[in-house]
Structure 1
Amino acid sequence: MNAHGIQAIYRFEMARWFRTLGQSLFSPVLSTSLYFIVFGSAIGSRMVEIGGVSYGEFIVPGLIMLSILTESVSNASFGIYMPRWAGTIYELLSAPVSAFEAVCGYVGAAATKSVIIGLVILATARIFVPYEVQNWPAMLLFLVLTAVSFCLFGFILGVLADGFEKLQIVPMLILTPLTFLGGTFYSIDMLPEPWRTVTLFNPVVYLISGFRWAFFGEQAADVNIGLSLGAISVFLVVCLSAVWWIFKTGYRMKN
């Protein structure tokens, strides 16, 4: 394995992120803080407990997951689209770096950014809401798996996009609505039938539920933890297969 190649890509992507740290880190943290103020403090003070926890605590995992999903897709898609747009992708394709190593560099950097943002938001949440994480290993596992999976998904979008505006179509029109409807601000058990059953077809429900399980235990989760782990694992395998096929065929990479 070409460790130097992976390190070079990783360091380049991280350096680009640090140059725009104000926009890359503080913007999502500020946006999430506003959600805590509006929903956690203003609305949460008038809400009853959900799953045995206060409403302010209940929305912490959902808001972190909302930021993780959007930032993972945006960071990874922009990271691979820029070399394609600038034409420097040919330097990568001609370098002694395999497809696996290139993906490790780009996706690893994007996932690192997302995990940092998630941990910063987790720390910021304590300013607004007192909460406890019951299972730290499970929380970190879900955080990393989600970041890596959606960074791979963002990598695929960055390869398929043929314009800057198209990088935002899926996050804005598909991913964000699915996240809002996936139990970010409520438990799906609060929905009447048939909407609760319909919501179970939303894959984001399983991610948020599993992440919330790590915080508060089974009483606050909407679905079984096994289903949550299975959903994120299947999505990870699908994205890995798609990225492997893109590099194997050179689809939209060599033209």
Structure 2
Amino acid sequence: MNWSAVAAIYRFEMARFFRTITQSLVSPVLSTSLYFVVFGAAIGSRIDQVEGVPYGAFIVPGLIMLTVLTQATSNASFGIYFPKFIGTMYEILSAPIGYVEIVLGYVGAAATKALFIGVIILVTSFFFVDMTILHPLVMVAFLILTCVSFALLGFIIGIWAKNFEQLQLVPLLVITPLVFLGGSFYSISMLPPFWQGVTLFNPVVYLVSGFRWSFFGTADVPVAISLVAIAAFLGIMLAVTAWIFRTGWRLKQ
């Protein structure tokens, strides 16, 4: 394992993150604060509690997941797409480093950025609501697994994309709607029975539900199923990434 190569890619990606700190960090935090104001004040005044949890606190895990999923995917996809766009990907592929080092560097940096933003939003939420995290270790585990899994997804999207429009297609038109429809701002038990069944086909439901359980001890689906779901998704992303580098799909063309 060439850890020097991993560290070089990781440092380069993190340096880009801090060079664009306004766009990378301040913008997501401000957007999340607006969600707290709109949903917490406007809707929270009409909905007192959801499953015994004040509505303002109830939406915190969903807001963190919304930001973490989109940021992990976007950062990883842009991080690997830009070397393809400017042609430096061929230099990376021809360098004396393996595919594992490349994935660790780019995915590790994207996951770190998303984790950093998620923690900042969590800290920010304490200025708006009063809450206690019942299972902090489980919360950290869910957050890390989610960051790594969706950073891998973003890495795959970055390799697949042929232009900047395709790069934003999945985060904007797939992930964000799934998060909004995945119980981020409501409990799926509030839906009619038919739509509860339909919602269970949304994979984000299991992420949000498990993450919310770590905060309040309540969940729409059993937490064990949520852990299995995120582990299965991580396994699929690893398998797809391995196949891409084994075949050279969209990399050696």
AA in 1 matched with 2:178:
L
Partner of 1:52: 52
Q: Aligned-pair distance for 1:48?
A: 2.5
Partner of 1:224: 222
Q: Deviations over 1:30-64 (max 9, x none)?
A: 10100000101222122121111100000000000
Q: Deviations over 1:202-225 (max 9, x none)?
A: 0000000000000001xx210000
Partner of 1:149: 149
Partner of 1:249: 247
Whether contact under 8 Å (1:41, 1:128) holds in the other structure is no
Partner of 2:160: 160
Note the residue ranges of structure 1 that are not aligned, 5 or more in a row.
none
Q: What is the alpha-carbon distance in structure 2 between the residues aligned to residue 46 and residue 174 of structure 1?
A: 30
Q: What is the alpha-carbon distance in structure 1 between the residues aligned to residue 245 and residue 140 of structure 2?
A: 30
Note the residue ranges of structure 2 that are not aligned, 5 or more in a row.
none
Identity %: 62
TM-score (norm 1): 0.98
Partner of 2:233: 235
Matched residue of 1:129: which SS?
A: coil
Partner of 2:30: 30
AA in 2 matched with 1:68:
V
Whether contact under 8 Å (1:75, 1:110) holds in the other structure is yes
Q: What is the alpha-carbon distance in structure 2 between the residues aligned to residue 167 and residue 89 of structure 1?
A: 17
Q: What is the alpha-carbon distance in structure 1 between the residues aligned to residue 51 and residue 98 of structure 2?
A: 48
Q: Aligned-pair distance for 1:231?
A: 0.5
Q: Aligned-pair distance for 1:179?
A: 0.4
Q: What is the alpha-carbon distance in structure 1 between the residues aligned to residue 41 and residue 143 of structure 2?
A: 25
Matched residue of 1:168: which SS?
A: helix
Q: Deviations over 1:224-247 (max 9, x none)?
A: 001100100000000000001111
Q: What is the alpha-carbon distance in structure 2 between the residues aligned to residue 120 and residue 45 of structure 1?
A: 26
User: For the aligned residues, what is the CA RMSD?
Assistant: 0.6
Matched, 1:85 2:85: yes
Q: What is the alpha-carbon distance in structure 2 between the residues aligned to residue 141 and residue 184 of structure 1?
A: 19
Q: What is the alpha-carbon distance in structure 1 between the residues aligned to residue 252 and residue 200 of structure 2?
A: 39
Q: How many matched pairs?
A: 253
Matched, 1:120 2:120: yes
Q: What is the alpha-carbon distance in structure 2 between the residues aligned to residue 215 and residue 40 of structure 1?
A: 17
Q: Aligned-pair distance for 1:74?
A: 0.2
TM-score (norm 2): 0.99
Matched ranges for 1:94-243 at <5 A: 94-217=94-217, 220-243=218-241
AA in 2 matched with 1:159:
I
Q: Aligned-pair distance for 1:193?
A: 1.7
Whether contact under 8 Å (1:59, 1:186) holds in the other structure is yes
Q: Deviations over 1:103-134 (max 9, x none)?
A: 00000000000000000000001111111111
Matched residue of 1:254: which SS?
A: coil
Q: What is the alpha-carbon distance in structure 2 between the residues aligned to residue 174 and residue 4 of structure 1?
A: 36
Q: Aligned-pair distance for 1:165?
A: 1.1
Q: Deviations over 1:160-194 (max 9, x none)?
A: 00001111111111111110000010000000020
Q: What is the alpha-carbon distance in structure 2 between the residues aligned to residue 201 and residue 165 of structure 1?
A: 27
Partner of 2:6: 6
Matched residue of 1:46: which SS?
A: coil
AA in 2 matched with 1:121:
I
Matched, 1:66 2:66: yes
Matched residue of 1:45: which SS?
A: coil
Structure 1 stretches of 4+ with a deviation exceeding 4 A read none
Q: What is the alpha-carbon distance in structure 2 between the residues aligned to residue 123 and residue 48 of structure 1?
A: 23
